[in-house]
Amino acid sequence: MSETNKFQSLGAVSYPNENAFTRITGFKHLTMQERSGASIIFEYPESSGDPYYPIPRTDNDELYQKYRRLADNEPRVSFVGRLAEYRYYNMDKVIARGLHVAKLLLS
């Protein structure tokens, strides 16, 4: 495959500058997929819409604690992950967390 089929030379490039977007991801670098054309996304931060990142504020933590108390009362259900625990996890951390909880449940 020719390099011209790739928009950029790395999988993810961050743009912490005056651009409206903050990151461009070129998926063919990540998947090793061999096909013509580039497959990319631009990420634009916004203050409206669905919130994707937990915001660690006191009021948010108090709300999360209410959900956690309800969750703790659910037998045979474990809430694991970013939304479930209302905290920021990257992919490696969330997988490690899932494996950790699975080991606890199996032991």
Ligand X SMILES: Cc1cc2nc3c(=O)[nH]c(=O)nc-3n(C[C@H](O)[C@H](O)[C@H](O)COP(=O)(O)OP(=O)(O)OC[C@H]3O[C@@H](n4cnc5c(N)ncnc54)[C@H](O)[C@@H]3O)c2cc1C
Which residues contact ligand X (rule: CB under 6 A)?
43, 52, 81-83, 89-92, 94
Instruction: Find the helix or strand (DSSP H, E) in which 42 lies.
Output: strand 40-43
Q: What is the DSSP letter of 26?
A: E
Smallest separation (angstroms) from ligand X to the CB of 91: 3
Q: What is the DSSP letter of 4?
A: G
φ/ψ of 33, rounded to 5, equals -65, 140
Smallest separation (angstroms) from ligand X to the CB of 63: 16
Place of tokens 């919130």: 51
Is the Cβ of residue 6 or residue 97 nearer to ligand X in the bound state? 97
Name the residue whose CB lies closest to ligand X.
81
Is the Cβ of residue 74 or residue 92 nearer to ligand X in the bound state? 92
